[in-house]
Structure formats: C-alpha cells, structure tokens
Structure 1
Amino acid sequence: MMHFDSSIRLFDQARRLMPGGVSSPVRAISPYPFYTARAIGPYLWDCDGNRFIDYCLAYGPMILGHRHPAIKEAVSDQMDRGWLYGTPSELEVRLAERVSSLYPSMERLRFVSSGTEATMAAIRVARGSTGRDMIIKIEGGFHGAHDSVLVKAGSGATTLGIPDSLGVPADATKNTIQVPYNDPAALEEVLERFSGRIACLIMEPVLGNIGPILPDKGYLQTARRLTEKNDVLLIFDEVITGFRLSLGGAQELFGIKPDLTTLGK
C-alpha cells in the first residue's frame, strides 16, 4: 500500500510559498502531487519510497529515460570543461549541423532557452518578413505562454481572439484568429476573408496539448497548399513532435516542408 505522508507535508509547505503550491499548472495534481526523490530508466521514486512508471519523462526531454549511462558520461565530461561560457563554442556549431541535417526545411536556426521563446520568435519573424500583423492558430493548440497565443478555445473559425487568461490585454490577441483542427474549409475561409493581412499559420502538426490528435489524411498537405496559395507562412510547432514522431519530426513523417519550425524539450 502506498503512503504519501512526506508528499503531503511538502505540498503544505509549498502552498505557502508558491501559487497553487507548484511551479507549473500541469503539476497541480489533486489532491496533492507526489514529490520525486530519484529516478532511473523508466522509473520514479517519490520521497515516501513509492515507485512509479514514468510515462511523462519530464514532458519530453528524458526520451532515453532517466540517468542513461551515455548521457550521464557526456554531461560529466562537459562539466569537467566548464559549466557555462556565455560565448560561442564549437559544440553549438556541431549541434546546429546535426539539427540542420535532420530538418532540411531549416535553412538557418537559432538556439533559445524554451519552446515559448522559440514560438514567440518564429511569429515575430513571420510578422517582420511579411509586414502583416494577423496570425492564425489551431483551436486547442499550445504554443507557449506569450500573450498573442493565449487565446480562449472555441472562439470560432472567423472570430478574432479572446484572451484566455487574466492579465492578457485584449489588444494582445486581437490579431489572433483560431480555426478548428482537421477543418481545411474553415482555414480556407479565414485565409480568404483576411486576404493580405495574415502573416502566418502556426500549428502543432499533431495536436499534443489536447491529444494527441492525428491529422486527417491530406489535411497537412492542404494546409501547406492553402498557405502557399495565400502567401502566408506556415510554422510547424514541433516542440513536442520533433525528434519523436521521427528524427525529422512530423514534417519528415508526413512529407511537409514548413517555412519555419520550432523545436524543444
């Protein structure tokens, strides 16, 4: 029988220090989260000694499991060379070469600190290069915690964005339009209605935040065709799908070449 006395005690302390007692809403497990003490391979142990199979794997980064020997050795070797430089290094050049070889659509890339920062930068690039302000996103898709993509679900295929959180000004989402996933007709309608005003369509090729939900046959190909026809940039947010659906992500698996790609986790 499992016991959670230590986790309950820690959660009581955490609630006095952090909103909701957690650092991210996804960790707000009711009635209290368990507190991990150690991990190896596919397993987690909490501070009460209970063992769990970890199907989450830190929401993606631990794709090889916890404390994989090869990863542990590589990290240890790098630590002996230094922890943080704040300058360019050969390692980032080699990593950029590796990523570029797996994602031919990425003619140039930039390393950032989070998926949120990546999607924010991609949208900014799209707006800057097109000179347009409006963007389209998919209902239920998650692209980080910046204001323009925190749009209330279900706002409708031709309705301008409504903030999904207190603290997000209406002006921040007024240029964001949502369309349903797997609905090419709705996408075409929006592209025609706001012709010449839309900078980009940002989408998870496979919805992860409310899924996973797979694309209908031909849907991604149609989205690519419609965006090209209307001179709108297509951003594939592959923060979740990248390196997982295949090494080259959803774009390799489905044979789509987006204009911009975001990776992470």
Structure 2
Amino acid sequence: MIPVFQTQKSLTCTTRCQILMIECACTGVRFFAILSMQRSGSGWVETLLNSHPNISSNGEIFSVKERRSNITAITKTLDRLYNLDWYSSAAKNECTAAVGLKWMLNQGLMKHHQEIVEYFNRRGVSAIFLLRRNLLRRYVSILANAHDSAMKQLNGTHKAHVHSKHEAEILAQYKPTIDKKTLITELKRSDKLAADALVNFKNTRHVVLYYEDVVSNRTMLMDVLDFLRLPKRKLFSRHVKIHTKRLCDHIDNWADVTDFLKGTPFESFLNGSRR
C-alpha cells in the first residue's frame, strides 16, 4: 500500500508537469535571424547566443546555393526551420525559446529583400544586425581567411574560427599585402552593402549591433536577450580572437595603405576608429 503522503506528492508533481506543459503550449517561440557579412563576428556571437539554454541558432543555412537559388527556395528553407515542433523540443527548457539562423547579406538576402521583409513581418521574425565599424580590419580578416583556406596552416586543415590561443597566434602570423587598386572599391562596396541592408529592412522588428561594440561591452548581449524576450543568462563562447594587435601589425604594406587612405572617407580606419 502506498502511503497517502507519497500519493499526494505524486499527484502534485503530475499537476505541476501538466501546468508546465500548458504554460509551454501557450508561450510563443521567438523567431530571429542574425543578418551579417562574412568576417564580422557572426560566428562568435552565434556561439554566445547558443550557450543560452533557450536559444537555438542553426548556423549559416543559406551558404548552400540551392537553398537561395530563388525566393521560393528561400521561403521553403525558412519554413522548414521555423515550422519545427519547438513546443516539445528539448531546446525549449523554460517555456520560452528563440529559434533562428545566421544569414549573410550576400546570400540572396538583398536580392530578394522585399519578399523577405514581407515574410519576416508575416511570420514574426526579428532581425539582429551584426556589422563591423572598421571595414579595413574586416578586410584584413577576409584576406587572412582566404589565405588559410588555400594554405591550410593548422596541420593541413582550414579553420575559419579557432578555439585556442596557439591556433590564433599561428593564423595571425600571416600579414596580407593589400592591393591598393582594389582597396577603396572594396571598402565602398562593403559600406554600401551594410547601409542598404539597414534601409531595406527598416520596416522589420530589428536591432543593430556592431562587432567592435560587443567586444568592448559584452553586456550589450543582454539587450539582445531582452529584444528576444528571454531570461538573462551568462553567455560564453570557446572562440578565440585571431587579430588582436594594432592594425598596423597585421598588414604587410602598412605604409603604402596609410598613404593611400589619407584624405579619403576611410582614413579614420587607420587609427582603429570605429567610424
């Protein structure tokens, strides 16, 4: 015979679980998309967000060209992600959850921005912009990453992100020689792409972050949790920053680049200004 107090305890636990299930069923899942550009810290920020028990960001889904070949393919891909049964998912630990992806601006996002804005607003998808202020530093990272992709400096493998100081130091040894003929064009292109994205998606629910600001003030990520209406938690990442020195220490032809950018709208990048 089961003691009365044990039966009552079991019933109490059952009732609490039922209440919890009802609460979870009534709590909407937040949808989001991290909108960024390559080498802008999106991988690092995504790992930070994914360390939260109620966030599931699913990487750079649209790096696969077939998924972004046209707007139909894009919306089908988004539907597959956002239509998953997150109400019973293990990721939904506290009756609130945010589900999303990382999406680069050059992966069909700008080409089909009108339809995507309509989709975001219809499905309630919030946009988290993550951009770089110093585009020259971003360009150095792009060139260094391309070099490692070709040379595979870490025991014959290419790593876009590293998890140890030793690996970061190896990759940071490469100092690109920047082609002055294409530098201004590249900086203007990146600047315009980011500016156009902010204009094109201004009518969505969105927040704008800059990588440099997050690096210097991690508490800005708490604002993102508020934006997603999630409980605040300490966030962590195993990513190790590769280029940590002064910009002049990461460019082989620094003197030439300095002379070339003086008097241009991008001169402020030389002293590390965030512009």
If the length of structure 1 is used for normalisation, what is the TM-score?
0.29
Greater relative contact order (Cα 8 A, min sep 6): structure 1 or 2?
2
| Structure with the largest fraction of helix | 2
Whichever of the two has the greater Rg, that structure is 2
If the length of structure 2 is used for normalisation, what is the TM-score?
0.28
